[in-house]
Amino acid sequence: MNVVIDVRTNVMAFAEEFKRLNEEWITANFQLEESDIKFLSNPQKYILDKGGTVFIALYNNKPVGACALLIRDGLTCELVKMVVDPQYQRQGIGYQLGQALIAKARNRGFSRIVLEGNTKMEASVALYRKLGFQEIPLEFDVHDTTNRKRCNIFMELVLIHSEYFI
């Protein structure tokens, strides 16, 4: 399958598809939360304008997957809103999206990538592990995760070893 990863750093193309894919995935498995509605309603404002990046997987120019790199601080970025249309799952698209995000994070000099997930989503957790992420205790995260009730696993991928994380 020939999938093209469209990297958006300044202008949000495919905003409606980004929103639709994520809303469909979330509502099929959980409930939309306030933070979801905020990010999905305006990814330009909450991701791109804050220095983040959106990745859209295109198959025959049709958006079939997405994820975003959200900046947490000068050392840490976060993998958020990763989704692949159910019709296109199990074809390596999530892996390609993850690889593109990891490459971008390395290129931008981040020390680590973090993500929040749910162990109910076994395929997602397996994908994150395949990408090199490892589970760390939720209390290790210095950011407030109480707004995301569905998250019960916290993972990180260390890109540059630093005393900051030891």
Per-residue pLDDT tens listing for the chain (166 residues): 789 999 999 998 999 999 999 999 999 999 999 999 999 999 999 999 999 999 999 999 999 999 999 999 999 999 999 999 999 999 999 999 999 999 999 999 999 999 999 999 999 999 999 999 999 986 655 555 444 678 999 999 999 865 554 4
Of the CA atoms within 13 Å of residue 59, those in its CB half-sphere come to 16
pLDDT at 160: 82
Check 46, 128, 135, 139 and give the catalytic one: 128
Residue/partner pairs of 84-91 with CB below 8 Å, 24 or more apart: 84/21, 84/57, 85/21, 88/1, 88/57, 88/59, 88/64, 89/123, 91/1, 91/3
Largest CA-CA distance found in the chain, in angstroms, rounded: 45
Reply yes or no on whether 46 is catalytic: no
Check 17, 34, 78, 116 and give the catalytic one: 116
Domains of the chain: 3-165 (3.40.630.30)
Give me the residue label for tokens 């981040």. Answer: 110
pTM, two decimal places: 0.91
Reply yes or no on whether 95 is catalytic: no
